[in-house]
Chains A and B, each alone.
Chain A
Amino acid sequence: MMKTITRRAVGRAGLAVATTSVLGMGAAPSWADDAAWAGGEANAKAIKQLYEAAKQAKQTQAVIYGGYSSIYKPLWEVFNQRFPGLAIVPTPLSGPQLVSKLDAEFASGRHEADVLMAGMTELLSNVAKDHAQPYRPPNAGALPERYVDPQNRFILQFADVFGIVYNTDKVPGADLPKKIADLLDAKHKGFIMDNPLAGGAIALCWIELTNSGMIDAKMMRGLRDNANVVPSITPYYANLTTGSVKMIPWGSFSRYLRLKEAGAQVGFQAVPGMVVPLYGGTAILKGAPNPLAAQLFQAWYITPEAQEALITKGYSYPLTPGVKTPEAWPNLKALVDALKPISPADYMSVRGKFEDTVRAALQ
């Protein structure tokens, strides 16, 4: 059930996205006239109340920390159109800068951030530090319960899929790996991956694959020996475009879509059991200077309007059921079902075990 995305498929996807855009996102007035944008009358009313409360409190912005806050920048225009007078302020902090800045704000009591938007590790790490202010949006029921922290400290709202991104001129479709073990073949030598201990894409993907029994210590060593291990994958998407890098086995689907849209000769292959969906979400931070605006934002992000915009403007998977992704996109549910689930409560301990395994295997 492997799914290779070709130029034609992407064309169809683009058409689907464009259609969605015209029928849905691009036509704000049609949303404005009814409550469909919020997923129903009750949600629309509750969210409108949050908006009014934020306005009354003169909270004109919500400051979001985290790398995703700038990735999803085009979505914030949609938010601003929906809620005039309220702006989202993205701050593209990640890694050590994000940790240090939040630690400094909590140590000093001088808070700037309202919301943290990040992947599972950063969300859970801040929850463990008691940085998150519990809040359950009025429309949280729209999401499956597994995406909402039982103590309402964070909500998962989006996902990206990590699979084989390759240069279509350099790697014929027939030569693509069909399973993880194929990456050990000499013909794939030199594929790009970051260090599994770096906390980057490989680490996050391998946590899921190790937990699902798809990859073991021996395989890790083999992959490392056949790969070109770099400090970070991000700069090398450009080399994938030029052809000096042929393949990134755990590359971002979202990046692939952007490259494809720009005309790059790239393809994406989703091999079940190898491809990994990674989740991201939001947490309202304690001491947030604009707590009502933050609550409004978190509620809006679950709405069909925001979740549609995640597809059309954020090139990411929404998690609210009923929001359809383009047919050319790999089916998220099938990819999720191929892996053993890790509950948020267990995630950090699973990650700890994974790091021990990697250290033993690679060092």
Chain B
Amino acid sequence: MSGLTQRADASAAGPTQAYRSADAIRDRWLTRGGMGLLLVVVAILFVWPVSMLLVGMFRSGPPGMPGVWTVETVIRVFTEEATYVALSNSLVYAVLCTAIATVLGAFFAFLATRSTVPLAGWLTPAMLLVFATPHVLYAVSWGLVADTGNGMLNLAARFLLGPQSTPFNAYTWTGLLTVHTLKLTAFCYLLLLPPFQSMNRSYEEASLIAGAGRFITFLRIDLPLLTPAIFGVVILGCVFGLGAFDLPQILGGLAGISVISTEVYRSLNYATPPDYAAASALGLFMMVALVLLLAMQWKLFGRNQFVTVTGKGYRSERWDLGPWGYACTFAIVAYIVVTLLLPGAQLVVTSFQPTLGVNAFTLHNYQAVFADPLTAQAFRVTGYLALLGGLIAVLLAAIVAYAGRHSPRWLEVLLDSVAVLPIIMPGVVLAVGLLLAYVSVPGLRLLYGTFWLALIGIVVFVTPIASRIVRGGIVQIAGDLEEAASVSGASRSRVLFDIVAPLLSRSLLVGWLVTAIIAAGTLDFPLLLLPPTTPNVSVLAYSYMNSGYPSQASALLVLLICAIVAVSLLYVLVAKAAKSERLVRLMRRAGSMGGLTNMSPGVRPQTGASI
């Protein structure tokens, strides 16, 4: 920021120079103060609970509790054969699923944003539904769809191929990898939408005019420009893959597949008291993976190398794929049927069954859910947690990314690392770390048993995801846009709110939506941190599951998915209505700033909502 201010000051002259100098000093102090405050906030939110857990690896007692220093747990974990079997399984699982899901996600994001393929408009709602389905329900649904007993896929196969035919089994390596990849594709798609929407068609046109074909243009122009965003998705996909629990536990359990997360589960559940030290030690694998991936990202993708949004001509017309469009439409239909309709139908059917796997139908599950006095309150709490938690996380991620962009490289790297740090710990371990960290401090202790501690937990949990989404968007914005505005006399806040925020709005909105959906479905933090009298939907569903009524849990979660879809649709409508008005406003503002006067009315900066 200070560099920009200096340049602005240098352009000033005459009697206002003294005021400008005073402004510069004030700005510098504000910048330093703001940066200091930001560092304190991220340290308290992200570094403190995680470091408690990391230190806890060397303590004999649970985190924050009495104990003695020891390396026994770490040695035991790192010398056990089971750890390395789980690690190799996790690596195969994470890398393979992420690779395929990223390719599929990118392919579908391209179709949805850059092509005129029929039915491409169905992709985003379908991906939202898949993404909004909690992992545990997705796993249970797929387990039933591809059950070797009377799963609908095998029943169909037997009808077609004979009574002995049982080609599908979700409880295998293949089943596990397939189901995780399908679910992860939706996540990758949603994260890749904003970068694809921000692609500048003029680069492609230049390539085409130079004689390159469409495929070559995609490979040599589009793909390289998208690499920071794609790499961000790969980072999240890999780390999520290493930490994935519900799918490996439910689908991999019967196949005897152990991964790092099931080893974490073993550490916590097979010992009395729970062995948090071993669980944290296992989290180190995720930390190593994260550090390696982040180091690669910083090394490969420096600043301003992947700018696609500039003040110059910016176009994003869609491609007509010709006959290939029909093949792509077929791919869209196939994906929606396999990923959404099959498990979705199973989920809805389950919500009407008296219990899982019994082919009878009843309204009792919904009646029980609606009769429960906690249901309405649980939806309210979920709404507050998801919307507020997602909003705070995405704003925090934006501030961290923006401050990093205008800081020395080492500070940018530090801030970027800290913002993703919580992702290395499995949810339940991180929730415990946060709980014990806050109750150990007299003032912060007052937050225990209130909604606010659960909200802090949610923010800590989803900020790493928000951080990758926002960072993917911010690196695409050219720095000269800010400089031009600043040189033209725009204040720092005006540059931030009138230039950066609108250009980043698509990433911010997608980030908010994605993190809110994750927050709505998460269990570990609300279960530990919400007051007992105000559960959210996932805690209530867990309560139904625990009580032996999984079909009631399904009914409740179907209602949650409906609520998420309703909110998302509302968001689409509002975004579309606001889009044209915002564009006009932005054009007016841009026209009033010297640095952006070369933007013609036909030039569209990155703005507006897409989902």
**Is there contact, CB below 8 Å, between A236 and B254?**
yes
Nearest CB in chain A: distance from B597 CB, A: 59
Nearest CB in chain A: distance from B346 CB, A: 11
A residues 216-273 in Cβ contact with B at 8 Å: 228-232, 235-239, 241-245, 254-255, 258-259, 261-264
Taking A73-B543, A97-B528, A108-B445 as contacts, is the C-beta distance between A231 and B150 under 8 angstroms? no
User: A198 on the interface (CB 8 Å rule)?
Assistant: yes
**Is there contact, CB below 8 Å, between A264 and B250?**
no
B residues 506-547 in Cβ contact with A at 8 Å: 524, 527-528, 531-533, 539, 542-544, 546-547
User: A357 on the interface (CB 8 Å rule)?
Assistant: no
User: A183 on the interface (CB 8 Å rule)?
Assistant: no
User: B432 on the interface (CB 8 Å rule)?
Assistant: yes
CA of A104 to CA of B432, assembled, Å: 9
- C-beta contact mask, B470-496 vs A, less than 8 Å → 1, else 0? 000000000000000000000000000
Selected interface stretch from B295-303, B399-407, B433-441, B455-463 = B433-441
Taking A101-B528, A107-B65, A235-B140 as contacts, is the C-beta distance between A92 and B539 under 8 angstroms? yes
Taking A89-B532, A92-B546 as contacts, is the C-beta distance between A112 and B62 under 8 angstroms? no
**Is there contact, CB below 8 Å, between A71 and B62?**
no
User: A70's contact among B272, B436, B446, B546, by CB below 8 Å, is which?
Assistant: B546
Nearest CB in chain A: distance from B255 CB, A: 9
Task: Count residues on chain A whose CB falls below 8 Å from chain B CBs.
Answer: 58
CA of A108 to CA of B440, assembled, Å: 6
- Residues of A near B546 (CB, < 8 A) are 67, 70-71, 92, 94
**Is there contact, CB below 8 Å, between A112 and B531?**
yes
**Is there contact, CB below 8 Å, between A104 and B436?**
yes
Look across to chain A and name the residue whose beta carbon is closest to the beta carbon of B532. Answer: A91
Look across to chain A and name the residue whose beta carbon is closest to the beta carbon of B539. Answer: A92
**Is there contact, CB below 8 Å, between B253 and A235?**
yes
- Residues of B near A245 (CB, < 8 A) are 254
Taking A96-B274, A264-B355 as contacts, is the C-beta distance between A244 and B149 under 8 angstroms? yes
Point out which of A61, A91, A229 has the most chain B C-beta atoms below 10 A from its C-beta. Answer: A91
Task: Count residues on chain B whose CB falls below 8 Å from chain A CBs.
Answer: 62
**Is there contact, CB below 8 Å, between A239 and B528?**
no
- Residues of A near B171 (CB, < 8 A) are 244
CA of A158 to CA of B317, assembled, Å: 69
- Residues of B near A19 (CB, < 8 A) are none
Taking A99-B273, A198-B266, A199-B270 as contacts, is the C-beta distance between A70 and B543 under 8 angstroms? yes
CA of A236 to CA of B255, assembled, Å: 13
**Is there contact, CB below 8 Å, between B274 and A99?**
yes
Look across to chain B and name the residue whose beta carbon is closest to the beta carbon of A169. Answer: B149
**Is there contact, CB below 8 Å, between A100 and B358?**
no
- Residues of A near B436 (CB, < 8 A) are 100, 103-104, 107
**Is there contact, CB below 8 Å, between B543 and A90?**
yes
User: A103's contact among B62, B269, B531, B533, by CB below 8 Å, is which?
Assistant: B62
Nearest CB in chain A: distance from B114 CB, A: 41
User: A95's contact among B262, B274, B551, by CB below 8 Å, is which?
Assistant: B274
Look across to chain A and name the residue whose beta carbon is closest to the beta carbon of B139. Answer: A235
**Is there contact, CB below 8 Å, between B254 and A230?**
yes
**Is there contact, CB below 8 Å, between A263 and B435?**
no
- Residues of A near B250 (CB, < 8 A) are 235
User: A110's contact among B151, B449, B527, B544, by CB below 8 Å, is which?
Assistant: B449
CA of A87 to CA of B269, assembled, Å: 31
Look across to chain A and name the residue whose beta carbon is closest to the beta carbon of B136. Answer: A235
User: B356's contact among A94, A95, A238, by CB below 8 Å, is which?
Assistant: A238
- Residues of A near B449 (CB, < 8 A) are 110, 112
- Residues of B near A254 (CB, < 8 A) are 548
**Is there contact, CB below 8 Å, between A95 and B269?**
yes
**Is there contact, CB below 8 Å, between B147 and A242?**
yes
- C-beta contact mask, A5-16 vs B, less than 8 Å → 1, else 0? 000000000000
Look across to chain A and name the residue whose beta carbon is closest to the beta carbon of B251. Answer: A235
CA of A100 to CA of B269, assembled, Å: 12
**Is there contact, CB below 8 Å, between B148 and A244?**
yes
CA of A65 to CA of B144, assembled, Å: 32
Taking A70-B547, A71-B547, A263-B360 as contacts, is the C-beta distance between A231 and B274 under 8 angstroms? no
User: B550 on the interface (CB 8 Å rule)?
Assistant: yes
- Residues of A near B181 (CB, < 8 A) are none
**Is there contact, CB below 8 Å, between A243 and B149?**
yes
CA of A89 to CA of B373, assembled, Å: 12
CA of A244 to CA of B445, assembled, Å: 49
CA of A356 to CA of B110, assembled, Å: 58
B-side residues, CB < 8 A to A, are 62, 64-65, 140, 143-144, 147-151, 171, 249-250, 253-254, 256, 262, 265-266, 268-274, 276, 353-358, 360, 428, 431-432, 435-436, 439-440, 445-446, 448-449, 524, 527-528, 531-533, 539, 542-544, 546-551
12 A-B contact pairs sorted by A residue (CB < 8 Å): A63-B532, A70-B544, A73-B547, A89-B532, A91-B532, A92-B546, A99-B274, A195-B266, A198-B270, A231-B249, A238-B143, A254-B548
Known contacts A238-B550, A264-B355; 5 additional CB pairs below 8 A are A92-B527, A97-B432, A100-B436, A198-B266, A235-B140
Nearest 6 A/B pairs, CB to CB = A243-B149, A241-B357, A238-B356, A262-B354, A96-B274, A108-B439
